[in-house]
Structure formats: structure tokens, C-alpha cells
């Protein structure tokens, strides 16, 4: 039967359209009850439903209670087409999840196309809203199922969240329950209750707080359009969870500061929000206070000091445009009795507020890492409301903590799928003969690799040969990963999503499966390998005579560590071709480096440490600073050279779609704090250009009276933090190619295709440009490339954070049963604390100046003097200034199982009531 | 116009018949042929009607859309008429053949509708100077069987009566901007008030008498005719003389009187029909064309 469906829509250009769709009704639509997907006798029992029953959830249940529906005991569910449609319209992530559930044969979810079934169709009644109509359609379908099931003595239970709908259904004689009622009375699965997202009415009202109401989306959009509001993604400060900023859209993206709970108005880190500017007299400055949630829960520094004459643009959140809530890892707060059901959850990410959840398993969950999802944030609740999703394992356990940091940084760490593994060559793969025909044979050259110890994914090799006519041949050979990873295959797609290999202290999350990363592609010295080579003819003064690129077959003569290579170079008796080559390379590298620094390349520093890991327990037993040898910088120099050469080549051949890497020049304001800190110690630095900065940093290496010699390294560490992130981009869409840190006009990544996807793209472009491979449409599509680059940039950043977090975790494990006194340096001075860096452990921490070493607040404001311009703080007559050397006691604080952390306590200089007495 | 071939004697036969108040299909001079009207026949319009008068067949569709008002009448909406002659009706309409006729008809329709007394255009205004409803009335002539003008006007009135304009809401936005929001329910509409909408009555002078609703044959015998727009109350909203012949001034008032009279009767029976159609709304199956 033919009906028509009428919808009115308003288009973006303001037109109003009437759309009529033909809608056909059928009488032969499967209802799933007879030999369909649904079981004949559903097993799940419920105290409120006496008979065997099937579930029909309504839209709100699907939208808000996916965690319940995903539980393994919920089976035999009838998903109505009406519900799916509405869910699709309202939330695409939930829609994806429900589609997955429906596709899973074990869950026995049946999709009933009720709107096309002649028994369950109903036209719209006049004056009925879309919502009401959908509810009515759901009730009609439930009634239909009830009728069908009558003979079998079974029922269909309509599960709804809507009181009115529930009442209507009951009036119609249907079996209708709210989701709370249903879940509470399920027999045998008490843990399901925790997964319930809370309905708004059930939320306890916190009288102490009332957030301003959010504006409606239409009002917000109109406001943004007219320029009254500003739209941007909220970034909460890492140091103070009550302070955030947005960078507005548009050309002149400016920063707006948002301070305080009420001004943030329930916005969570990374939400897209609309912000209204405060009047200029209320503008404020980013506070210098460090807010430490874990020391004093709920402690908030009164905003007494807000009134300052000059401030930066400050605003308040008036509406939320898009939430970007995700499940968060964290721990349950331990205060409150475990018998209580209401608890606070502290996320591992400091920038996320604590979340109120309800659970009956508090006893078992305390001391565990758990995952919690936010459901809502009502106006009268200080914290957002959420529900428990799953437990990961106990706090402090290394595997659990690793899992947490991988989840938190969105690092895909599950094993590779079948489809991906199917793309791999057999493990006994050897180079086929036809490859020798198309590749150059470099197997006789004295090629070797130099890498850190324990490295199994070797992606670069070098060689150096004296040509005898006053020139030398230098080659960089890179693993030919693109030979194995063909575009468009599952393995290629997987690598593109993962973007990069993530190195944690004790494990490596590979971008490509191990067979490739540690064997077939890894340029080990145990056989022939395929390579992509970059060969230069150079004069001894490092001037390049010619450059060429080719696919090749190589055989590495030796895989060395940096230390081994250094020893060979220094060993006067060794005179084999590999050693001779190394010496030649080393000499050239030094010339190259000097030239580069001459041009203004920065040599920055960041404290890096390496853990010695116990081979059995995998716990860290010792750690050492990474040493820098000549050979490190030798390899680096040639990799830089190769990258620059390749960048030039692909940009020449594919000016519109080359994948390049650029490092934007940081705005001068980034350096303000840094320059000010240096100035307070009498060091005049100049950061006008990268060359100025490099020169003035070098000048600090000269010993100066009154300052320790480590200051130069400290300054380099701090300068690193002023820099911008280097990013990949597509050359056709940007005009500025410069790499600030390297002082190179053009740069890309070519030398590590095993662990970076960007290099794979560069390999493909380069191969196409020398005719060694074919191009394909995605390779030459600039928007496509830009999208991949965006993902790569995100993945790289996340990998970096994960790496950092992993080091932090291991430092914690290392200090688990130790108390060590160590000297460190003040790197920042805040209003109430100093930030101390301990170079030996690469550890950075806060020492509070307003409380004693046990964490009790004892210092009153009169004893605390903070001078921002001079970067100094005076406590009880003792002056501490930036870059001062201090001695701190490092210990692992496990008094609170939930918050294990590294504690720093001041030992020297002695400050009564703050530093610890030397006898302790 | 449709070509009917008539011999000289056939013409005289018709003229003489009319002289005796006996037309060749049995009607008297002031009788209309049977009219068949149906509304709401095209679902993707906002209003529509189908009409059959003798062998004249028409389809009218009405679409409304947002547009900007005429600067001279900032608070009013607009009505545009467009007439399309299907080559099905007559082979001469092929290509641009029907243009003269359609321009003629739409011109007359515009003349009788676009004034305050026919339809209150203010009800179609939304935001003065900025936005208003633009009503597009599309007439499709499917078959010509005489007296097209009257048929078109009746069908247009029926279609307009059937037209539901979405009940949009105007909310004040920022800084004097206004936001238009659409109702959730597609049935939430306001019908156009057609109480004063005129119909056209054509009075054709044949010999010394005049007839209404002339058939195609009679039109060939007529020297001149008078077209007038008449509202339900009998008010004349427009008048036009058509045809090459001349009219005796003395007979004009008489013809106007007849026109008013006939127009009133036409309105009464049409309104009765439209009322029942609207009452039945969706319940009945439409005959339509299927």
C-alpha cells in the first residue's frame, strides 16, 4: 500500500521546502519471533515481569543507557526502526554502537522495520509533535508484539525513560517499565546497576552551587554569527583545573581566558563552547597559583587578587556547542564509607573535573583503576554526573597503569586484526629475483647501522666511500617499507590510523606488525634487505656535488650501538672499510653541524633518562641519563641531510601535494616568561630570530660569577618549552614551509618509515618522482593528504604525551621503596610554590611554599612574598629565585593507595616549618 | 485557441438556436455546463485542485516559499500566476505556441487577484521589508473545451482555498535580526482566506443575445465578450472586453448584471463543495488521475 510521508525542512539558505516521500506498507515483514534472530525462550529473568519476555527500548534508553544494553546479559531486544532513526538523528556515536550491537549475532538484537509493517504503521495525527508521534509508534509496535506473543504466554516489555510515555503505555495495557525499575529487578546481575546512567530527576541537588543556565543552541549560533560570542575549543590549564582558555576561530585567532567554576560553567576540557567577553574592568591574568586537587580536595584559592590593572581578554562560557566527552580512566575517591553508593571519581587527566558516580561495588573498586563516562552536568550539581563503565585493574600495577596511559592518550594498542596480518608476506620471505633487476645492488658497499642499544627496528644505514678523485660518496639507506605496505590495503589503513609507533619505557606499540618492523624491514646485519637509498657525492668540505635517489638492495656489514661505533672510531688499530667509513662520516658530520648552527639552528635540550629494567619483573631497577656521543649527532646529521634533500625533491616534483614538515616560529610572547627569568639572573637573551637565540644561548655557556654552570642546560630546557609544535602539512595548502628549529627552508620526514606513517607517504612520493613506483589518486589529492597529516599530527602529540606519562610512571615505580636526597634547580617560581627539576632523574615536581613538608597549611600570607618580575619568592626571610640550586628529598608517597605519587620535600635551603629537619 | 472547424450554416444554426434560448447542447443562455472540482490532488504542493468543465480540463498547483516583499508594499506578501498550456490540449501549443494565451490568462488573473479586496495580502507578510510569503500559482491546461478563463479562475480559487501556509514563528534574535523557525508538525498550517477571492465570468455576445460558459463552437460564433471578476458578494474586481467585434453600449449594463448574478451563484456552489472537501480532509481516497 502506498502512503506518503511529508516533511517540511528549512534549508541553510533560508528556503522552506516541503518534501514528500513515498512510503510503502507491506504485510510480509518479519517480526523476528518465528525462527528469526530472537530466541524462542529468552532466559533473562526479572522480578517485575512474571513471564518470559522480550525488550523494546525506546529512543531515550538507547541514547543514554548504551552501557547497560551492551552488557552481556541483555539479549533478545527488539530494536524498532523508529528508535534507530531517532538515534541516528540525535547522536552518531551512539548510533554506531547500537549498529554494532545489532550486527552481533550473540546479542540477539532484532531490528523491526515497524514503520513499513502494515500492522504497526500509523500516520501522523494532527497537532502531534515528532516526539509524540515516535512514542506512539513505539507503543503501537509494543502492542503488536504483545498480541503476537499472547499465544506463547510471553510478553514484550517496553523500556522507557519517559514518564509520560510510560503512563500512556500502561493505560494502553502494555507492560511498560522505566529502565531503572527494570534493571533493579533483573535477577542475578547486580553489577548492572552501576552502569545505569542517571536520569536528571534522580540527581541530588547541591545547594552550594548553581551554574548559570546555558543558552539555547540557536541563540548561541546567532550570537556567534553576530560576533557577540566567540566560539572555540576549551583547553583547561594543566596546572589549574579551574582555568582554561579558548582560541577563537578565524584569521586572527585570539586567546580568551576563562577563570573559575562559574565562568567555566560546566564546560569540560576539549568541549567546543561559546564564550562571551567580560567587561574590560573584569579582565584578569592567568593565575600563578598551582591548584593541587590531590593534596586538599576541594581547596580553592579565593579570587581575591583578581583586580589587577591590566589583564588579558577574559570571558565566560554562555553555551556549549559540542561536548566531547569520552570515557575517562581514573580512581574512586576513598573518603566516605564504602557502603555508601554515592562516590566521587577522580580522572587521571588533571584537566577533567571529578565526576559523581553511584556504585554498590565501592569496596572492590577502591584501589582499582576504573573507567567512567559522564552522563550529564545539571545546573545544581558541582560535579558532572557519570556512571561506571569498567575496571582495569589495581592501582600501581604496571600493566594496569600502562593500559590507563594508552587509553588516556587514545593509542590503539590492540593486536593487529586478521585482515592486517593477511597482508604480510610469509615469514620465510626472501628477496625475489625480479627485484634485483629493478634495483641497484649495493651489497658490496661498507654499509652499517648505528642505533641505541636494544633497538630492533633499524630503519636507517649509512655508508661512506672515498672515490679517489677528491670527492666522497655518502649514502643513507632507509628500509623500503612501501615495498610491503601497498596503498589502500588494510595494513596501510591501519598504519595510517596508528600514525606512529609509540615507545613506552618497557614496551613498544608498533605501527606495523612485528614481522615487518623487526625483521623484513629492519636493516639488520644478517642478510640482504630492500632499501630506498639517497646517495650524495660530496667534497671533503661537505659541499654536495650531486644527489640521487634509488631503490636498492643492501647488506649491512654491522649493526652497532652508538657506544660501539664510538669505540671503533677511537680504536686506532681498526682500519677495516666500515671503520674508515665511520671516521669519514664523523668528520663530515661535524662540518655539516657547524654549518647548520651557523645558519641559526637551535640546539635545545630536554632531560632524558633511560630505565634499566629488571629482566623478570620488568620493574625499573636503575636509571641513567641518556649520554650524547659524537656518533649520535653523526647519525642525526646525515638523517637531517637526507630529509632536507628529499623534501626539496618531492616539493619540486609535486609542488601541490608534497608531505612536508614545518616548525612555525613561536610568537615573541611565548618567550616573555623565559626571557624575564633569565634577566632576573643578569642574563640578557635575545630571541628575535632562531639565530639570535642560538647565539645568546651559546654565550651563557661561558662561566659567570654567582651562577652555577648548569644554567645553560636549564635555559635550553626552558627554551624548548617556548617552542611551537612542528607539524606535517600538505605543500599545496600552506605557503610557509620554514622549519624554525632546524633553520631549514624546507623539511620533511623520510628516514623512519618503520615507525612513522609520514615517512611512508614521503617514500611513495619520492618513488613516484624517480619512476620507481606508480602514483594513485589519494597520493595526489591535497585535501586527502591534509586530512592524513592532521591525524598524524594528533597521533604524534598523543604518542609524545604517552611517552612522557610512561616515564612518569616508571619514575614512580623506581622510587617505590626509596628515599633519596638529590640536588635540583628551581625552574619556575609561582605564587605559592616552586617548580623543581632534578636533572639526574629527569624529574620535575612542585614544592609548595605555603605549607609545611607534611602538607599542612601553616604559612600565612604575610610570610610569603612573591615578586613576579624578579621571579623570586621569599618565605620567612629565605629568598628563593629562579635557577637557584636546591636540595630536595624525593620519596614515593603511598600513604594513600589511591594517589600514589612522587613527593618532593625541601631539604636545603632551610626554611623553618617548610623544609624537613635534617635529622628526618 | 483550440481549432474547431465550423461551416457557415453550422454557425447560423448555433446563432439562431441562441436567439431562441436553446443552445445546441440543450442549455439555456445563462446555464453553466457541469463542473467537476477536486482539491488536494498533488501531494507535494502546498495546495492543488483539478477541474473539469465540459471538456476543458485543468490542474492547478500552489507552492509557497519565502521571499522578500515589494518595497512599495513592505508588509504584504506576493502572488505570482503562471499558466502553462500543455501541447496535449492542442497541437498548436507546442513549442512557444501557447505563450500568448498563457500570458493573457495570467495577466487577467493578476489583475483580479492583486488588490486588497480579493485577498488580504497582509496575511502573507512575515517581517516587514524583509520577508514575506511568495505564493506561486501554477495552472496547467490539459484540455481546451471552451470558456477557459472561467474554468481557470474557479480552479485557482479552489487551489488557493486548499493551500496551507506553514505556521512559522518569528523570534527576535540579536541586534534586530529575526529568526524564523518552522513548526515540527507538517500539518501545522494556516489556510489562505479565499472568502473574497473572485471568479471570472465570461459573457459572450452571440447575435443579439449573450450567453455564459460558451462552448468551443459558440466561441467561434461570438463577436465580442466581456470578462469580469466577481466576488462572492457580487462585487466586480475587474473587467475586460475581448474579441474583435463591438458591443452595443446599451447591452453592456445588461451583461454586467447577468455576470454579477451568475458569479454569485457560481461562488455559492463552489464554496459548498470546498467546505465538504475540507471537512473530509484526508479520509477519502482522491480520484486524482490514477
Are the C-beta atoms of residues A504 and A402 closer than 8 Å to each other? Answer: yes
Residue A320 is predicted with a pLDDT of 87
Strand order in the sheet with A155-160: A109-112, A77-80, A53-57, A155-160, A175-178
**Closest listed residue to residue A907, CA positions, set A890, A883, A882, A884:** A890
Instruction: Give me the mean pLDDT over the A824-831 stretch.
Output: 85
Are the C-beta atoms of residues A148 and A45 closer than 8 Å to each other? Answer: no
**CB-closest option in B44, B166, B175 to A20:** B44
Q: When comparing pLDDT for A103 and A894, which is higher? A: A103
Over chain B (290 residues), the average pLDDT of each successive run of 10 is 74 91 89 90 89 91 91 90 88 84 90 82 87 92 89 93 87 69 79 89 90 89 90 87 86 91 92 83 58
Distance CA A371, CA A352 (A): 13
Helix (H, G, I), strand (E, B), or coil: what is residue A171? helix
A252 has a pLDDT exceeding 80: no
In angstroms, the separation between the Cα of residue B116 and the nearest Cα of chain A is: 26
Please give the ipTM for the structure prediction: 0.72
Is the CB of B185 less than 8 angstroms away from the CB of A18?
A: no
Mutant choice from A16, A132, A217 vs B, greatest count of B C-beta within 10 A = A16
Closest-CA residue of chain A to B185: A129
Q: How far is CA A371 from CA A381, A382, A387, A404, in A?
A: 21, 20, 9, 9
Is the CB of B66 less than 8 angstroms away from the CB of A15?
A: yes
Is the CB of A14 less than 8 angstroms away from the CB of B44?
A: no
Q: How many helices (H) and strands (E) does chain A have?
A: 23, 38
Q: Residue A104 has which C-alpha cell?
A: 552481533
Residue A756 is predicted with a pLDDT of 93
**CB-closest option in A18, A124, A228 to B46:** A18
Distance CA A651, CA A27 (A): 63
Q: What is the pLDDT of residues A302-342, one digit of tens each?
A: 443 444 446 788 888 888 888 888 888 888 876 666 667 77
Helix (H, G, I), strand (E, B), or coil: what is residue A711? helix
Instruction: Give me the mean pLDDT over the A905-911 stretch.
Output: 82
Q: What is the pLDDT of residues A347-393, one digit of tens each?
A: 888 888 888 888 877 778 877 888 888 888 888 788 888 888 888 88
Helix (H, G, I), strand (E, B), or coil: what is residue A511? coil
Residue B189 is predicted with a pLDDT of 83
Q: When comparing pLDDT for A436 and A288, which is higher? A: A436
Q: What is the pLDDT of residues A213-229, one digit of tens each?
A: 888 888 888 888 888 88
Asked if the peptide bond before residue A909 counts as cis, ω within 30 degrees of 0, the response is: yes
Residue A615 is predicted with a pLDDT of 65
Taking CB atoms and an 8 Å cutoff, what residues of chain B touch A8? 166, 182-183, 186
Counting other chains too, the contacts that A244-251 makes at CB distance below 8 Å and 24 or more residues apart are: A244/A269, A244/A351, A245/A286, A246/A273, A246/A275, A246/A315
A294 has a pLDDT exceeding 50: no
Query: CA-CA-CA-CA torsion for A168, A172, A178, A184, nearest 10 degrees?
Result: 150
Other CB atoms within a 10 A radius of the CB of residue B88 amount to: 14
Helix (H, G, I), strand (E, B), or coil: what is residue A116? helix
Helix (H, G, I), strand (E, B), or coil: what is residue A191? helix
Angle at which helices B148-161 and B99-113 cross, to 10° = 50
Residue A128 is predicted with a pLDDT of 79
Instruction: Give me the mean pLDDT over the A20-41 stretch.
Output: 82
Taking CB atoms and an 8 Å cutoff, what residues of chain A touch B282? 123
Task: Give every CB contact of residue B250 below 8 A, 6+ residues apart in sequence.
Answer: none
Residue B1 is predicted with a pLDDT of 47
**Closest listed residue to residue B221, CA positions, set B7, B2, B1:** B7
The per-residue b/e assignment along A150-187, b for 16 or more CB within 10 angstroms, e otherwise, is: eeeebbbbbbbbbeebbebbeeeebbbbbbbebbbebe
φ, ψ for residue B265 (rounded to 5)?
-65, -40
Tell me, yes or no, if B168 comes closer than 8 A to chain A by beta carbon.
yes
Residue A306 is predicted with a pLDDT of 41
Q: How far is CA A322 from CA A198, A269, A606, in A?
A: 21, 11, 36
Counting other chains too, the contacts that A174-183 makes at CB distance below 8 Å and 24 or more residues apart are: A174/A139, A174/A142, A174/A143, A174/A146, A175/A49, A175/A53, A175/A142, A175/A146, A176/A142, A177/A48, A177/A49, A179/A57, A179/A61, A179/A65, A179/A68, A181/A48, A182/A46, A182/A48, A182/A55, A182/A157, A183/A68
Instruction: Give me the mean pLDDT over the A16-32 stretch.
Output: 85
Pairs of residues, one from chain A and one from chain B, whose beta carbons lie less than 8 Å apart:
58
Q: What is the pLDDT of residues A638-692, one digit of tens each?
A: 999 999 999 999 999 999 899 999 998 888 888 888 888 888 877 888 888 888 8
A697 has a pLDDT exceeding 80: yes
Distance CA A275, CA A297 (A): 28
Instruction: Give me the mean pLDDT over the A507-535 stretch.
Output: 90
Phi-psi region of B243 (alpha: psi -120 to 50; beta: other; left: phi over 0): left
Are the C-beta atoms of residues A314 and A287 closer than 8 Å to each other? Answer: no
Q: Residue B64 has which C-alpha cell?
A: 509557497
Query: CA-CA-CA-CA torsion for A54, A57, A63, A69, nearest 10 degrees?
Result: -20
Residue A627 is predicted with a pLDDT of 67
Distance CA A731, CA A661 (A): 9
Residue A763 is predicted with a pLDDT of 94
Distance CA A305, CA B251 (A): 98
Alpha-helix residue ranges (DSSP H) falling in A185-258? 217-226
Distance CA A604, CA A158 (A): 64
Residue A365 is predicted with a pLDDT of 81
Residue whose entry in the numeric block shows the C-alpha cell 496575511: B123
Is the CB of B65 less than 8 angstroms away from the CB of A15?
A: yes
**Helical (H) or strand (E) element with A713:** helix A711-722
* pLDDT more than 90, % of chain A: 19
Taking CB atoms and an 8 Å cutoff, what residues of chain A touch B175? 226, 228
Taking CB atoms and an 8 Å cutoff, what residues of chain A touch B185? 124, 126-130
Q: What is the pTM for the complete model shown? A: 0.62
Confidence of residue A708 (pLDDT cuts 50, 70, 90): confident
Residue A533 is predicted with a pLDDT of 94
Is the CB of A8 less than 8 angstroms away from the CB of B182?
A: yes
Mutant choice from B136, B163, B178, B186 vs A, greatest count of A C-beta within 10 A = B186
A768 has a pLDDT exceeding 70: yes
Residue A476 is predicted with a pLDDT of 94
**Closest listed residue to residue B200, CA positions, set B78, B115, B109:** B109
Task: Give every CB contact of residue A870 below 8 A, 6+ residues apart in sequence.
Answer: A680, A881
**Closest listed residue to residue A812, CA positions, set A627, A626, A624, A619:** A619
Taking CB atoms and an 8 Å cutoff, what residues of chain A touch B63? 18
Is the CB of B186 less than 8 angstroms away from the CB of A124?
A: yes
Average pLDDT, chain A: 83
Helix (H, G, I), strand (E, B), or coil: what is residue A472? strand
Helix (H, G, I), strand (E, B), or coil: what is residue B218? helix
Are the C-beta atoms of residues B216 and B145 closer than 8 Å to each other? Answer: yes
Amino acid at each position: 500500500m502506498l502512503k506518503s510521508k511529508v516533511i517540511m525542512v528549512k534549508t541553510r539558505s533560508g528556503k522552506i521546502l516541503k518534501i514528500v516521500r513515498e512510503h510503502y506498507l507491506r504485510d510480509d515483514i518479519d517480526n523476528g519471533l518465528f525462527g528469526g534472530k530472537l530466541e524462542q525462550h529468552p532466559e533473562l529473568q526479572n522480578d517485575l515481569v512474571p513471564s518470559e519476555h522480550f525488550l523494546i527500548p525506546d529512543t531515550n534508553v538507547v541514547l543514554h543507557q548504551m552501557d547497560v544494553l551492551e552488557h552481556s546479559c541483555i539479549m533478545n531486544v527488539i530494536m524498532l526502526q523508529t528508535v534507530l532513526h531517532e538515534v541516528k538523528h540525535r547522536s552518531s556515536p551512539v548510533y554506531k554502537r547500537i549498529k554494532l550491537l545489532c550486527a552481533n549475532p550473540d546479542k540477539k538484537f532484532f531490528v523491526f522495520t515497524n514503520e513499513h509493517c502494515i500492522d504497526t504503521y500509523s500516520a501522523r495525527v494532527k497537532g502531534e509533535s515528532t516526539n509524540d508521534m515516535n512514542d506512539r509508534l513505539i507503543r503501537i509496535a509494543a502492542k503488536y508484539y504483545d498480541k503476537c506473543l499472547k499465544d506463547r504466554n510471553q510478553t514484550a516489555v517496553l523500556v522507557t525513560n519517559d514518564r509520560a510515555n510510560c503512563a500512556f503505555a500502561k493505560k494502553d495495557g502494555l507492560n511498560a517499565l522505566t529502565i531503572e525499575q527494570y534493571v533493579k529487578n533483573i535477577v542475578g546481575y547486580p553489577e548492572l546497576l552501576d552502569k545505569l546512567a542517571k536520569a536528571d530527576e534522580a540527581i541530588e541537588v547541591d545547594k552550594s552551587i548553581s551554574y548559570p543556565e546555558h543558552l539555547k543552541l540557536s541563540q548561541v549560533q546567532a550570537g556567534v554569527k553576530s560576533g557577540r560570542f566567540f566560539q572555540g575549543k576549551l583547553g583547561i590549564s594543566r596546572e589549574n583545573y579551574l582555568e582554561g582558555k579558548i582560541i577563537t576561530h578565524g584569521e586572527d585567532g585570539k586567546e580568551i581566558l576563562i577563570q573559575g567554576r562559574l565562568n567555566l560553567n560546566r564546560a569540560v576540557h576539549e568541549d567546543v563552547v561559546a564564550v562571551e567577553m567580560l567587561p574590560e574592568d573584569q579582565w584578569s591574568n592567568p593565575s600563578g597559583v598551582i591548584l593541587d586537587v590531590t593534596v586538599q580536595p576541594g581547596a580553592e584559592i579565593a579570587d581575591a587578587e583578581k583586580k589587577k590593572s591590566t589583564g588579558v581578554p577574559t570571558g565566560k562560557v554562555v553555551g556549549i556547542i559540542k561536548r566531547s566527552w569520552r570515557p575517562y580512566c581514573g580512581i574512586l575517591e576513598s573518603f566516605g564509607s564504602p557502603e555508601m553508593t554515592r562516590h566521587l571519581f577522580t580522572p587521571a587527566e588533571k584537566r577533567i573535573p571529578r565526576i559523581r558516580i553511584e556504585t554498590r561495588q565501592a569496596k572492590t573498586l577502591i584501589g582499582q583503576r576504573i573507567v567512567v563516562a559522564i552522563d550529564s552536568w545539571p545546573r545544581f550539581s558541582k560535579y558532572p554526573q557519570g556512571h561506571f563503565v569498567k575496571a582495569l585493574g589495581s592501582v600501581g600495577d604496571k600493566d594496569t597503569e600502562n593500559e590507563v596511559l594508552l587509553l588516556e592518550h587514545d593509542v590503539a594498542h590492540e593486536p593487529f586484526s586478521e585482515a592486517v596480518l593477511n597482508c604480510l608476506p610469509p615469514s620465510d620471505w626472501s628477496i625475489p629475483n625480479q627485484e634485483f633487476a629493478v634495483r641497484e645492488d649495493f651489497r658490496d658497499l661498507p654499509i652499517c647501522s648505528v642505533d641505541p642499544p636494544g633497538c630492533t627496528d633499524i630503519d636507517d644505514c649509512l655508508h661512506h666511500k672515498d672515490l679517489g678523485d677528491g670527492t666522497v660518496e655518502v649514502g643513507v639507506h632507509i628500509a623500503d617499507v612501501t615495498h610491503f605496505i601497498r596503498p589502500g590495503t588494510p595494513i596501510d589503513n591501519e598504519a595510517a590510523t596508528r600514525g606512529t609507533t609509540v615507545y613506552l619505557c618497557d614496551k613498544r606499540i608498533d605501527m606495523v606488525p612485528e614481522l615487518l618492523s623487526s625483521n623484513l624491514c629492519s636493516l639488520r646485519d644478517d642478510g640482504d634487505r630492500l632499501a630506498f637509498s639517497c646517495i650524495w657525492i660530496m667534497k671533503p668540505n661537505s659541499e654536495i656535488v650531486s644527489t640521487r635517489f634509488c631503490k636498492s638492495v643492501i647488506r649491512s656489514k654491522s649493526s652497532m650501538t652508538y657506544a660501539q661505533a664510538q669505540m671503533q672510531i677511537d680504536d686506532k688499530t681498526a682500519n677495516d672499510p666500515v671503520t674508515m667509513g665511520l671516521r669519514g662520516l664523523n668528520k663530515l658530520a661535524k662540518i655539516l653541524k657547524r654549518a647548520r648552527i651557523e645558519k641559526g639552528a637551535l640546539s635545545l635540550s630536554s632531560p632524558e633518562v633511560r630505565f634499566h629494567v629488571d629482566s623478570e619483573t620488568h620493574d625499573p631497577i636503575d636509571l641513567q641519563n641518556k649520554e650524547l656521543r659524537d656518533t649520535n649527532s653523526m647519525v642525526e646529521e646525515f638523517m637531517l641531510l637526507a630529509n632536507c634533500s628529499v623534501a626539496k625533491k618531492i616539493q619540486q616534483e609535486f609542488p601541490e601535494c608534497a608531505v612536508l614538515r614545518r616548525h612555525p616560529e613561536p610568537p615573541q610572547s611565548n618567550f616573555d616568561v623565559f626571557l624575564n627569568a633569565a634577566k632576573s639572573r643578569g642574563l640578557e637573551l635575545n630571541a628575535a630570530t632562531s639565530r639570535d637565540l642560538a647565539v645568546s644561548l651559546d654565550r651563557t655557556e661561558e662561566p659567570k660569577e654567582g651562577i652555577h654552570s648548569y644554567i645553560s642546560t636549564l635555559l635550553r630546557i626552558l627554551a624548548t618549552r617556548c617552542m611551537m609544535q612542528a607539524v606535517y602539512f600538505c605543500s599545496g595548502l600552506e605557503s610557509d614551509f620554514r622549519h624554525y628549529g632546524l633553520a631549514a627552508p624546507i623539511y620533511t620526514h623520510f628516514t623512519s618509515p618503520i615507525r612513522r606513517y609520514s615517512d611512508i607517504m614521503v617514500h611513495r612520493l619520492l618513488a613516484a618522482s624517480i619512476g620507481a613506483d606508480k602514483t594513485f589518486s589519494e597520493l595526489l589529492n591535497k585535501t586527502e593528504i591534509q586530512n592524513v597529516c592532521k591525524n598524524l599530527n594528533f597521533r604524534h602529540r598523543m604518542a609524545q604525551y604517552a611517552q612522557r606519562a610512561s616515564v612518569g610512571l616508571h619514575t614512580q615505580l623506581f622510587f617505590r621503596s626509596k628515599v633519596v636526597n638529590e640536588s635540583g634547580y628551581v625552574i619556575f617560581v609561582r605564587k605559592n610554590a616552586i617548580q623543581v627539576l632534578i636533572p639526574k632523574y629527569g624529574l620535575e615536581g612542585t614544592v609548595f611554599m605555603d605549607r609545611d613538608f607534611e602538607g599542612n597549611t601553616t604559612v600565612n600570607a604575610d610570610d610569603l612574598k612573591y615578586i613576579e618580575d624578579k621571579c623570586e619568592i621569599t618565605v620567612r626571610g629565605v629568598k628563593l629565585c629562579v635557577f637557584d640550586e636546591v636540595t630536595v628529598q624525593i620519596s614515593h608517597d603511598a600513604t594513600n593507595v589511591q594517589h600514589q605519587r612522587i613527593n618532593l620535600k625541601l631539604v636545603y635551603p632551610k626554611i623553618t616549618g617548610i623544609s624537613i629537619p635534617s635529622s628526618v | 485557441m483550440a481549432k474547431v472547424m465550423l461551416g457557415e450554416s453550422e454557425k447560423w444554426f448555433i446563432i439562431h438556436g441562441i436567439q431562441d434560448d436553446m443552445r445546441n447542447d440543450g442549455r439555456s443562455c445563462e446555464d453553466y455546463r457541469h463542473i467537476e472540482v477536486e482539491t488536494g490532488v498533488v501531494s507535494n504542493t502546498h495546495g492543488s485542485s483539478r477541474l473539469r468543465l465540459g471538456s476543458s480540463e485543468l490542474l492547478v498547483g500552489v507552492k509557497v516559499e519565502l521571499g522578500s516583499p515589494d518595497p512599495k508594499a513592505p508588509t504584504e506578501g506576493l502572488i505570482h500566476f503562471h499558466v502553462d498550456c500543455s501541447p496535449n490540449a492542442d497541437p498548436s501549443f507546442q513549442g512557444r505556441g501557447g505563450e500568448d494565451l498563457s500570458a493573457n490568462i495570467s495577466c487577467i488573473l493578476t489583475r483580479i487577484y492583486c488588490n486588497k479586496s480579493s485577498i488580504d495580502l497582509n496575511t502573507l507578510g512575515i517581517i516587514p521589508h524583509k520577508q514575506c510569503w511568495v505564493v506561486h500559482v501554477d495552472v496547467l491546461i490539459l484540455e481546451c473545451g471552451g470558456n477557459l478563463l472561467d474554468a481557470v479562475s474557479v480552479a485557482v480559487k479552489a487551489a488557493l482555498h486548499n493551500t496551507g501556509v506553514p505556521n512559522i514563528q518569528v523570534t527576535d534574535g540579536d541586534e534586530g535580526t529575526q529568526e524564523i523557525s518552522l513548526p515540527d508538525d507538517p500539518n501545522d498550517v494556516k489556510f489562505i482566506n479565499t472568502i473574497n477571492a473572485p471568479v471570472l465570468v465570461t459573457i459572450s455576445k452571440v447575435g443579439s443575445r449573450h450567453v455564459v460558459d460558451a462552448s468551443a463552437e459558440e466561441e467561434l460564433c461570438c463577436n465580442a465578450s466581456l470578462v469580469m471578476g466577481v466576488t462572492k458578494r457580487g462585487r466586480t474586481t475587474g473587467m475586460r472586453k475581448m474579441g474583435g467585434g463591438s458591443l452595443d453600449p446599451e447591452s453592456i449594463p445588461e451583461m454586467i448584471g447577468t455576470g454579477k448574478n451568475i458569479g454569485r451563484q457560481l461562488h455559492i456552489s463552489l464554496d459548498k463543495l470546498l467546505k465538504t472537501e475540507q471537512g473530509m480532509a484526508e479520509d477519502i481516497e482522491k480520484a486524482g488521475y490514477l
